[in-house]
Amino acid sequence: MDIKGIAAIVTGGGSGLGAATAQLLAAQGAIVTILDRDTIAGECMAAKTGAYFAECDVTSEEGVRSALEASEARHGIARILVNCAGISDLIRTVDDTGKPHALEAFRRIIDINLIGTFNMLSQFAARLSSVEPIGEERGVIINTSSIAAFDGIAGQAAYGASKSAIVGMCLPIARDLAPLKIRVVAIAPGTFLSPMVEALPQQYKDALAAGVPHPSRLGRTEEFARFVEAIISTPMANGTSIRLDGAARLQ
């Protein structure tokens, strides 16, 4: 699919991987809508890229519906969706004092990372199903998983579960949407220089970078965005989850 002139939606587009993706898609001529709960970051990135911003809680069925309607009113039905909205936390199943993992904290990560991703993609695909295909496809959905889906570290029970589920639902959803000519791909990035990682002390960032075989550094958000671009432009990329981690394996 040629990106130029195509309406695209990026969730979590106010910062990190989502912001880099929104910037690249806009630079390639896409008509971008940024969705984010952070109105300041979202509006700032929209102004920077020429995108439209809509505040959106991806866990809300009505909130997603309203955001998609607002985007559609401005840009028409989008053919590209990149789901980058997500959160992370390090909470052990049982902490040093013998206290169990708070169920509400576990549920919150699942709600945003997994249910929010599905809520967005299902409503997006339903709207996209009504438009005519361009060539052999109507559009593409790209979800963000993580290498924590495969080898999560201690304290990532909730995060690893949410990201594993994004991998697990990729193929079934791709098969569901194949008759509609909509592709679905998941990217599982390693440790990238997102705002959360940027805030870590330098010694921690150095240790994370040392665990990446090659190139031995942290990922750059623009590399994730270029990978998104490659998937969009490659029709046979469908129903698969792809690691983007420099061969890193978490210990």
Residue that wins the pLDDT comparison between 251 and 107: 107
Query: In 3-state terms, what secondary structure has residue 170?
Result: helix
- Please tell me the predicted confidence (pLDDT) of residue 139: 98
55 burial via Cβ count (<10 Å: 0-12, 13-18, 19+): middle
- Condensed to tens digits (0 to 9), the pLDDT of residues 170-186 reads 999 999 999 999 999 99
| CA distance linking residue 45 with residue 133, whole number of Å | 30
Residue 200 has pLDDT above 80, yes or no: no
- What Cα–Cα distance (Å) separates residue 67 from each residue in 80, 125, 189? 15, 14, 27
| pLDDT (average), residues 88-114 | 96
| CA distance linking residue 80 with residue 32, whole number of Å | 9
- Please tell me the predicted confidence (pLDDT) of residue 109: 97
Average pLDDT of the residues of the chain: 96
Calculated CA dihedral for residues 27, 30, 33, 34, nearest 10 degrees: -30
Helices and strands, counts by H and E, the chain:
10, 7
Residue 199 has pLDDT above 80, yes or no: no
- Please tell me the predicted confidence (pLDDT) of residue 169: 98
Among 52, 53, 124, 159, the one annotated catalytic: 159
- Please tell me the predicted confidence (pLDDT) of residue 205: 86
> Is the separation of the CB atoms in 153 and 95 below 8 Å?
no
- Please tell me the predicted confidence (pLDDT) of residue 128: 98
Q: Which pTM was predicted?
A: 0.96
What type of residue is 121? L
Helix (H) or strand (E) holding 221: helix 221-232
- Please tell me the predicted confidence (pLDDT) of residue 251: 80
| CA distance linking residue 152 with residue 246, whole number of Å | 16
| CA distance linking residue 13 with residue 34, whole number of Å | 5
Q: Facing residues of 144 across strands?
A: 187
Question: The tokens of 176 are what?
Answer: 């569901």
What DSSP string runs through 49-106? HT-EEEE--TT-HHHHHHHHHHHHHHH-S-SEEEE-------B-SB-TTSPBPPHHHH
For residue 130, the Cα-to-chain-centroid distance in whole angstroms is 24
Helix (H) or strand (E) holding 158: helix 157-177
Residue with tokens 């983007």: 244
204 is catalytic: no
Residue with tokens 């579960």: 161
Q: How many CA atoms lie within 13 A of 13 on its CB side?
A: 32
